Amino acid sequence: NAGVTQTPKFRVLKTGQSMTLLCAQDMNHEYMYWYRQDPGMGLRLIHYSVGEGTTAKGEVPDGYNVSRLKKQNFLLGLESAAPSQTSVYFCASSDRDGQPQHFGDGTRLSIL
């Protein structure tokens, strides 16, 4: 039972570099979410998707882009990484809105 899988688990980038975080879920969930968690804080919603081909902005979308070309995958892109984007990134999914979310194990991203 894989659930929600995030790749990579760790990454170090230099300022200005770009990268894509991949989230894959095998539960056939409609809803998927990307969060960031800064030290000592809760999760903040970056972007979310309510179904294949749809995306929407969350609380802190600036500097990130997302795509949901397939129902099972939700990609988070950083076009030009900045040190302020150093964080732990979590992906989650749920079968519908207002229901418990299943989380991946997180990606620890450091930007130097």
Partner 1 sequence: AQKITQTQPGMFVQEKEAVTLDCTYDTSDPSYGLFWYKQPSSGEMIFLIYQGSYDQQNATEGRYSLNFQKARKSANLVISASQLGDSAMYFCAISNTNAGKSTFGDGTTLTVKP
Q: Does 19 bind partner 1 (CB under 8 A)?
A: no
Nearest to 34 by CA among 13, 59, 14: 59
Site for partner 1 in 72-101 (CB under 8 A): 88, 90, 92, 97-101
Tokens matching residue 22? 């991949």
Q: Considering the complex, what minimum distance in angstroms separates the CB of residue 107 from partner 1?
A: 11
Q: Does 43 bind partner 1 (CB under 8 A)?
A: yes
Q: Considering the complex, what minimum distance in angstroms separates the CB of residue 80 from partner 1?
A: 26
- Which amino acid belongs to residue 102? H
Q: Considering the complex, what minimum distance in angstroms separates the CB of residue 103 from partner 1?
A: 4
Bond into 100 cis (ω within 30): no
Largest CA distance in the chain: 37
Among the listed ranges 21-29, 37-45, 66-74, 77-85, the one in contact with partner 1 (CB under 8 A) is 37-45
Nearest to 83 by CA among 15, 11, 37, 12: 15
For residue 28, the SS3 value is: coil
Interface with partner 1 (CB under 8 A): 31, 33, 35, 40-45, 48, 50, 56, 58-59, 88, 90, 92, 97-103, 105-106
